[in-house]
Amino acid sequence: MSIENMVEQIMNNLSSESLMRTRLNVGVPPCIDAGQVAFGAEALDSRLSGGLVRAALHEVYAGADLDATAAAAFALLLAWRANREKPIIWVREEANARLNGKPYGHGLNELGIPPDALLSVDAPNTIAALRAGADITRCGAVGAVIIEPFGKALALDLTASRRLALAAGQSGVMTLMLRAGVEPVPSAAQTRWRVASAPSMPLPANAPGHPAFDVMLLRHRGGIAGVEARLEWNRDRQSFDQAPLSGGVPSVAIGGAGQAVERRAA
């Protein structure tokens, strides 16, 4: 089954009560060790003992409402780092698409991500988004899954997060829960990050800098704590670099119409 057909099948069943009983027949065995996803920033990866567990659920929270697009960009880049050979599936509630727009092809190219590497699924509500996200996560044919509920998303409870964590553990697919405008709630996620936009360092001739993020690790099931970093995305290296925590200029935009992601000036 192709990725496109798989997504179409899931979308056709989003409103069906039988979806909870539907499981894609992809023949993916339990994943014992899918390795880690490194950020590429040596100091941060060292603090994390090599990076993030690939076969797990991770949460990305926007630091403030204005940081929503920065958090989305961070999640997308991390998903790209997880697996550049398979497509990224971004499952969003339709309300998010209406409010924030969709990723822009030229913006993705600026990041070094081919636009056809990203497939978007618009779900009518939170329950549909979580169900679709869980079914897609079970498919080892995808590189990573981003799930973006809208608002408080009361259906995203501890049970729902455990279901997603289990699916990621079985398939080896990194799963990222993207949240904005809400406070963290109990979950089964391996890690929880708070992300804010940050000023970037100037390039030669004072050109706009690389996309930059201030990130803080809020929770780690392995007990790691006190991790903060300013990261810049290096398109040429296709990785994050650790940057100084002072100075900088506004970076290039990495979104498009309705989804322009810009770093704020200091």
Going residue by residue through the chain, which has 266 residues, state the pLDDT in tens, using 9 for 90 and above. Answer: 555 665 555 555 544 433 333 333 333 334 334 699 999 999 999 999 999 999 999 999 999 999 999 999 999 999 999 999 999 999 999 998 888 888 889 999 999 999 999 999 999 999 999 999 999 999 999 999 999 999 999 999 999 999 999 999 999 999 999 999 999 999 999 999 999 999 988 778 777 788 999 999 999 999 998 899 999 999 999 999 998 765 554 444 334 333 433 333 33
Give the structural domain span for 151.
Answer: 3-12+36-242
Residue 176: inside a domain: yes
Residue 263: inside a domain: no
Work out the number of other CB atoms within 10 angstroms of the CB of residue 43. Answer: 11
Task: Kindly report the pTM of this predicted structure.
Answer: 0.82
In eight-state DSSP terms, residue 217 is: E
Q: What share of the chain is helix, strand, coil (3-state, %, to 5)?
A: 30, 25, 45
User: What's the total number of domains in the chain?
Assistant: 1
Strands (E), 50-197: 52-53, 57-62, 88-93, 118-123, 144-148, 174-179, 191-197
Nearest-angstrom CA–CA distance, 130 and 136 = 10
Nearest-angstrom CA–CA distance, 246 and 77 = 23
Is there a contact between 229 and 43 (Cβ–Cβ < 8 Å)? yes
Task: Report CA-CA distances (Å) from 42 to 50, 121, 194.
Answer: 9, 34, 20
Residue 247: inside a domain: no
CATH classification of the domain holding 126: 3.40.50.300
Pairing of strands 212-220, 191-197: antiparallel
Residue 266: inside a domain: no
Instruction: State the pLDDT at residue 69.
Output: 92
Which value, to the nearest 10 degrees, does the dihedral of the CA atoms of residues 227, 219, 94, 139 take?
100
Residue 265: both structure tokens together: 């000036």
Is there a contact between 192 and 59 (Cβ–Cβ < 8 Å)? yes
Instruction: State the pLDDT at residue 34.
Output: 63
Residue 204: inside a domain: yes
Instruction: State the pLDDT at residue 239.
Output: 95
Residue 140: both structure tokens together: 């080892």
Nearest-angstrom CA–CA distance, 177 and 87 = 17
Residue 102: inside a domain: yes
In eight-state DSSP terms, residue 179 is: E
**What phi, psi does 177 have (nearest 5°)?**
-95, 115
Residue 124: inside a domain: yes
Instruction: State the pLDDT at residue 245.
Output: 65
Residue 200: inside a domain: yes
